[in-house]
């Protein structure tokens, strides 16, 4: 049997998957469904302080998907790259109702999963008040959300709009909280490593990497933002590479555990984050578009894959990729012995490779595409774009 448990600051997660703070966790009943569906834990939708109470009311509608339904064979097949925009800053609850709902969630979940409260304030006093209140709840863990992607646009020093106050806020909360806590960092900063080291020094039990970006899409016919008219959360599977980069960079610099998560869409993404150095991984979009039970399916896939590979526990794969990730200065810059050739049996003379060749090395003949080896730069674009996979790489 493969052991998928992970223990952080004395809190044991039955598997490495948790559901992040969003619509799937907006109340206790939804949190229960997250756990029943297979996740090890769930982060309740963030409680914003009273000074940011405007975020407790959402525009309708508040979600917009780009390049999703347009995918061939949808809904039988789902795209691996699309954009999800939304505007739902925080929980719709006030202080008292939020704490009550966290308790209700733990009563429903019991020992089957980890209930994580999430807080975001705009002053030290607000942070302290919320921390004192959450101390009295049954929450297993607390997330300090200093990363809401569009908080800066609200004109309030909160979330990503308060990155410069991270040290001050975390220090204030660390002196009050009686529960293990993590700090959720924004990717919208010039130095994630600095922030991660800072929150570690201020006593965080773990660091969450990371929140979504903020973004906007325009309707050129009306010259207006599509949807509700402002920026919003901007995410999707295409951000996986960005999230993995942040995790592996920080994993080599801090000692506290990392909760990874950005662009998670498949079970393989969970494995990738753990190999990059994360201890557990959060997902939101996957649950929102594939259903609450997708995490349970992912768990079974991870177990089967690890068993087939001979891995016994998460420790066998945690950080496994770190030694294989090179600095750009270490990348081989030459291409001796590499040639590109065309499989005549597969080439249908479509000309896609020729359009994409910036070196004019490809011509389309009666027998198919032909590559001029003297002009070829070995860039590999023809190999990537060929719809028939007729281009092959020869190495000598």
Q: Which residues carry out catalysis?
A: 148
Is-cis flag, bond preceding 298, omega within 30? no
Q: Is the peptide bond before 311 cis (omega within 30 degrees of 0)?
A: no
Q: Is beta strand 41-43 parallel, antiparallel or unpaired with respect to 114-120?
A: parallel
Place of tokens 């555990």: 257
Asked if residue 165 has a cis previous peptide bond (ω within 30° of 0), the answer is no
- The answer to whether 188 and 159 are in contact (CB under 8 A) is no
DSSP, res 139: -
Strand bridging mode 83-86 / 232-235: antiparallel
Closest CA to 160 of 214, 225, 84: 214
With tokens 């807080």, the residue in question is 119
Give the residue carrying structure tokens 């948790």. 18
> What number of CA atoms fall less than 13 Å from residue 78's CA on the CB side?
12
Closest CA to 187 of 257, 273, 88, 263: 263
| Residues in CB range of 190: below 8 A, 6 or more apart | none
Nearest CA to 262 out of 320, 212, 227, 305 is that of: 212
Strand partners for 258:
207
Q: How far apart are CA 5 and CA 3, in angstroms?
A: 6
Residue 370, SS3 per DSSP:
strand
Torsion of the alpha carbons at 40, 44, 45 and 51, rounded to the nearest 10? -150
């Amino acid at each position: 049997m493969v052991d998928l448990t992970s223990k952080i600051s004395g809190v044991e997660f039955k598997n490495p998957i948790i559901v992040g703070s969003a619509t799937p966790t907006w109340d206790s009943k939804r949190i229960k469904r997250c756990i029943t569906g297979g996740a090890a834990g769930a982060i309740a939708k963030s409680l914003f302080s009273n000074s940011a109470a405007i975020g407790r009311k959402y525009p309708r509608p508040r979600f917009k998907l780009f390049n999703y339904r347009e995918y061939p064979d949808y809904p039988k097949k789902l795209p691996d790259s699309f954009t999800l925009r939304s505007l739902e800053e925080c929980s719709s609850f006030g202080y008292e109702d939020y704490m009550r709902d966290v308790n209700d969630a733990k009563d429903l979940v019991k020992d089957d999963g980890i209930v994580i409260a999430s807080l975001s304030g705009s002053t030290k006093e607000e942070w302290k008040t919320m921390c004192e209140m959450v101390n009295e709840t049954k929450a297993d863990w607390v997330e300090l959300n200093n990363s809401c992607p569009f908080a800066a646009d609200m004109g309030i020093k909160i979330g990503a709009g308060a990155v410069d106050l991270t040290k001050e806020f975390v220090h204030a909360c660390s002196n009050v909280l009686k529960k293990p806590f993590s700090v959720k960092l924004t990717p919208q900063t010039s130095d994630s490593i600095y922030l991660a080291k800072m929150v570690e020094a201020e006593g965080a039990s773990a660091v969450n990497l990371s929140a979504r970006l903020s973004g906007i899409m325009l309707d050129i016919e009306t010259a207006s933002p599509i949807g509700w008219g402002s920026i919003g959360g901007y995410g999707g599977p295409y951000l996986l590479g960005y999230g993995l980069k942040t995790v592996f960079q920080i994993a080599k610099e801090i000692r506290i555990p990392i909760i990874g998560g950005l662009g998670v869409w498949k079970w393989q993404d969970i494995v990738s984050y753990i190999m990059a150095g994360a201890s557990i991984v959060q997902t939101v979009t996957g649950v929102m578009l594939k259903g609450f039970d997708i995490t349970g399916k992912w768990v079974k896939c991870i177990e089967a894959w690890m068993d087939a590979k001979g891995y016994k526990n998460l420790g066998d794969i945690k950080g496994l990729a770190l030694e294989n990730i090179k600095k750009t200065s270490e990348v081989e810059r030459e291409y001796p012995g590499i040639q590109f050739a065309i499989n005549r049996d597969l080439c249908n003379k479509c000309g896609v490779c020729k359009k994409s060749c910036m070196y004019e090395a490809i011509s389309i003949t009666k027998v198919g595409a032909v590559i001029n080896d003297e002009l070829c730069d070995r860039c590999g674009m023809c190999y990537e774009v060929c719809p028939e996979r007729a281009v092959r790489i020869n190495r000598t």
